[in-house]
Amino acid sequence: MSHSMPEPRAAGATALDDLPEPFEGYALDDLPVTPIGAGFPDTGAGDGDGPRAEELDPLNLPRWLTEKTRRERALRADERVPAHVYYPALGQFFSDGWISDVRLLVQSGKEATVYCCDANPSSGYSLVAAKVYRPVGVKHNKNPQAAYDEASLRHTFERKVKVRTFTWDARYREGRGIQDARLRRAYENHSRTGREVQNTTWARAEYETLRRLYGAGAAVPRPLAQAGNAVLMEFCGDEDGPAPALYAAALPRADAERLFWSVIENIALWLRCGLVHADLSAYNLLYWRGGITAIDFPQAVDAAVNPHAFEFLVRDVTNVCRHFGRYGVSVDPEPLAYDLWEGA
């Protein structure tokens, strides 16, 4: 790496196996963004045709879920997404023929909302995931539409409270360049125009990162499209629901060590691609069909340019080691992080 880092600990630093070089993928054309107010198809969402929650037995849900997650899934079994919560960025995916309906709100977090969508048969998928980044600085709200409405009405936002998330943390932004000088100044000053640039920047960054890592063979969802501050990608799950995050899954103890090293191998592959996840934990590692898939890459940093990359790597590895320690996998995270860094 180009900038100085702490010296490796022991003389016995392990050399990692050679990993694939980064995918050089095809060139992207800029995707247009559907104007606000563009129409959406009448999906009939929210018509209440699903089974009532009290009629479901949580024990019939997938066995790998924890009891708490099973109960939550049972209570949400008839949940649908009413048409009025569609964020306009999804309109591009409708018009481009990627999706035909929004089936389920999968997760609404501090940075974005993820929807499970019905894909058009011509796409080759039955279900896809649409991730819509919330307007910068808008607080998390269980109703995503309320957050978007709040953003559209908040004309004096910059004088009000800001949410402390990675989008406002300068450490993640170091090494990222914006070619247009005017837009770059707006971005750095957090002006209204800067927020619009920032909203699109994080979605674009995640799409490009996923494309790069998926092409290199990493265990990440396949990216499909990006428009404005929305990203469309492969859905990790099935008709019964989304794949659970590691923190919500009950892993077979006999598989824990294998799964742990599969995550570490992926971290090494990301480093070979010049990237550090920078926010890795049991909350953005999904357990599905006996394997683990990593998600949430908008804040991923350039390992060669960002001066905090090694710090982020140590934190990522520590979080992974801490979680798998519950299953009896005992690995010292700091020497492991050194080995990964030196082997990249």
Q: Tell me: the pLDDT tens digits for 10-54?
A: 444 443 444 334 333 333 344 333 333 333 334 343 344 443 433
Share of the chain above pLDDT 90, in %: 46
Q: Which of these ranges, 142-156, 177-191, 321-335, has the smallest mean pLDDT?
A: 142-156
Structure tokens at 335: 């020497």
The pLDDT, as a whole number, for residue 44 is 40
What domains sit in the chain, N to C, each tagged with a CATH number? Answer: 80-242 (3.30.200.20), 246-343 (1.10.510.10)
Mean of all residue pLDDT scores within the chain: 74
Share of the chain above pLDDT 70, in %: 56
How far is residue 195 from each of residues 185, 280, 311, measured CA to CA in Å?
11, 25, 27
Band (pLDDT 50/70/90 cuts) for residue 121 is very high
pTM tops 0.85, yes or no: no
CB 112 within 8 A of CB 132: yes
- Tell me how far apart the terminal alpha carbons of the chain are, to the nearest angstrom: 8
pLDDT in tens, 266-319: 999 999 999 999 999 999 999 999 999 999 999 999 999 999 999 999 999 999
Q: Identify the pLDDT of residue 135.
A: 66
Residue 75 has pLDDT above 80, yes or no: no
Residue with structure tokens 């699109």? 200
Average pLDDT over residues 131-158: 54
Q: Which of 29-33, 96-100, 119-123, 257-261 has the highest mean pLDDT?
A: 257-261
Dihedral sign, Cα of residue 79, residue 84, residue 89, residue 95:
positive
Q: Cβ atoms within 10 A of the Cβ of 4, count?
A: 8
Report the distance separating Cα 105 and Cα 147, nearest Å. Answer: 15
How would you write 57-85 as a 3-class SS string? CHHHCCCCECHHHHHHHHHCCCCCCCHHH
Per-residue pLDDT at 167: 47
Structure tokens belonging to residue 208: 């490009």
φ and ψ of 106, to 5 deg: -80, -50
pLDDT at position 180 is 63
pLDDT (average), residues 174-180? 63
Task: Select the more confidently predicted residue: 166 or 275.
Answer: 275
User: Is the confidence at residue 331, as pLDDT, over 70?
Assistant: yes
The pLDDT of residue 156 is above 90: no
Whole-number Å distance between alpha carbons of 80 and 98: 20
Just list the catalytic residues.
Answer: 279, 296
